[in-house]
Amino acid sequence: MATIHSDNNCESFVDFCKREADGLKLTSDEMHQENREQEELNALLKKRSERKCALLYNNLDLILRHRDEIVATPRYANIDVHYAIRGGGLYVGHLSAVRHFNFAGTLVSIGLKLSSLLEIWDNEQFKVECKCGDTAVIRSFSGSPLSGGSMATAVCPKCKKEIHVKNRSFGGYCGLMSIGHERDIEKVVKSIIAKWTLAEVAYEKNAAEGKDAKWRKAGLKLRDDGEPCNLETMINELKLKEFQLASR
């Protein structure tokens, strides 16, 4: 019996005829529309990430001046900057600084946080001395896990020049980036677990005291961290702070 291959699906000729007679498609028009809209959304998100990346490096000197304050301020420290560093190489492909999870049909993306990026840049592996006298930081790297060789590009916060760096440990780049991102993922997961535990305790306490009806569940007590801060807001706040200090 003949078999028809279409869009990675296999069906017999008889099944094909039956399906065609019923007017059914293996991929519906609505599915195609969803895919097109997702592609448009991805293109917009890519453009947004490129804009944010340019903004971050244009204000790199400001960010590094306030490094300690950023790390110590959760609303700054937790800003997603997965777009700010790129890595990859032979046999390993692109090393993404964001991971996507599907939990019970809910999509969750956890990217590299600003505090982790700053900690990565604290390591000598990601530092380069610039001719202007300042210290540049690595923003992208590539290489091979077999040879261990690499190529990297750094940017100077002072003169804004790019510096090309050769033959540093490729594993060193990958390891530090991976450790920072994995720590961020762990932080998010533990935060959710801790907040859910508090919500359950609050619910059980109220239920025991007769304050909550049986149909109410612990989810009503779940609280998040509030309105998140974005890169644009942080940069503006830091600039205003410096202006106010200079005006005194």
pLDDT at 146 over 50: yes
Q: Where are the alpha helices (DSSP H) in the chain?
A: 13-21, 29-58, 60-65, 67-72, 74-77, 114-121, 170-208, 231-246
Give residue 216's pLDDT.
64
pLDDT in tens, 191-242: 999 999 888 888 888 777 777 655 567 677 778 888 899 999 999 999 999 9
In contact, 110 and 184? CB cutoff 8 Å = yes
In contact, 137 and 127? CB cutoff 8 Å = yes
In percent, the amount of the chain with pLDDT more than 70 equals: 94
* Banded model confidence at residue 92, pLDDT cuts 50, 70, 90: confident
Residue that wins the pLDDT comparison between 16 and 56: 56
pLDDT in tens, 44-74: 999 999 999 999 999 999 999 999 999 999 9
pTM for this prediction: 0.84
Mean pLDDT for 12-34 is: 78
Give residue 3's pLDDT.
47
Quickly tell me which residue has 């069906």 as its tokens. Answer: 11
pLDDT in tens, 160-204: 999 999 989 999 999 999 999 999 999 999 999 999 988 888 888
Give residue 6's pLDDT.
47
* Banded model confidence at residue 5, pLDDT cuts 50, 70, 90: very low
Which residues in 41-58 are b (16+ Cβ under 10 Å) and which e?
Answer: eeeeeeeebeebbeebbe
Give residue 185's pLDDT.
97
